Structure 1
Amino acid sequence: MTLKPLAVALCIATLGITGCASKYVAPEEYSGFLKNYMALTEEKSPSGAPVMRWIKPGVDVNQFNSVYVEPSQLYPQPKPTEKIPQSTLQGITTYYDQVLKTQFAKALPLATGPGPGVLVVRPAITAVSASTKGLQPYEVIPIALIAAGVSTATGIRDQDTSIATEAAFLDGSNNEVVAQVVRKGAGAELDNSSQVMTASDAKAVLDGWARDMVKSFETLKGH
């Protein structure tokens, strides 16, 4: 196990004692999907949720007259589990694609690919977890750790579900990154440790993420 997953595993193992969980995604939880994390700062989304975000200084979003939403990725590629099967993982990305297109279509016409005047949205789901209720409500187990078999989903108490995303926003004319965001959220509560997580358990979180992304864009557009 590399140093980064090891650090997160140790954090998970000591939940409730060290209080290492945070509403913000910690650097050791970054997936590597984004090219540069150094400039991310703690911010609040339009809905007031904690996010790690960077927006290119001086960027003029009025240059974009359409938007292309790339198919969302699962990154790193996870190994399905009994608790979180492949159907759930696929359902989450499918729904994320759908809701991003629905929300962004309210602000800009949808494009069929990148190009001049096109804002490219490149999203990824970087963590999905189901952990025993009462530990830490915002702790996220990175997909890489689920693939390695690290899980706190034991016992018969109710389960909290969590999910995290990383997204880059690019200028479709030159592939330059103009904004990045990293955030996580709590999904629907499961009845017990034997209940399988479904994509529906994450829909409210995905809806909120998409709405916030579009509101952030509209705020920049109005400046």
Structure 2
Amino acid sequence: IQVTVDQFCGRYLQKKIIAVSEELAHKLQVDYPKQHITVIENGVDLEALKDVKADAPFLLHEPKVKVKHVGIVGRLVPVKRVDIFLDMASELVNSESTDQVLKFHVIGDGPLRLQLEKRAEQLGLSDAVTFHGHIKNVASYIKSLDVLVMCSDHEGLPMTLLESMALGTPIVSHNAGAVTESFEQGEGGVLSEEHEASSYASALYKLLTSDSKVLPAKPNSALDNAQAIIALYREISL
């Protein structure tokens, strides 16, 4: 009933629906008129992120000169697929060809935490993976990482991804929607060919060992996002 009412309002009562990416806009066209949909990408506070320092506590114990730090950020729920992240970590830790010292960080909390901690223990990752729980100043943790992994089943245009791009932390992702084209050009991050642990492991290893660096990518600012929404409100109120 809720979905039906929501779709009715979107079709007949709402003047506009905001999609945060072109990919999401195409999906919304299945249920809503094309002329109702406007794309306004998410934005982040670039000025605030410019002053963020890479000072997560784990760097005090294991500086980047000795260890490569790889993390995943998000609520610990099924769609985020932290299980894939752990399987990827297990493959890399147990690989004879990997000469890197790797530490993995799960940043966030949620209903699957105990289950995921048990899975990490079963995979023999107790010394390699740290569950940090909810972190208030998550930007400092993102900047302290060498690579951020995003292996969700689906995303729109996640703020964590945009923050990582603004902070200069490379990303490994799969089908990242609005930023896929940038990733294919080597800007902001790289794409895993398949949505499975071995493919993420391969993409991550290449990123960590390659001489070529990921080019910086600048996401939209929160100010641009706000101005676009204000302009849309003015347009539909005329």
Which structure has more strand as a fraction of its residues? 1
TM-score over 0.5 for the alignment?
Answer: no
The structure with the greater share of residues assigned to helix is 2
- TM-score, length-scaled by structure 1: 0.33
TM, length-normalised to structure 2: 0.31
Please identify the structure whose Cα radius of gyration is greater: 2
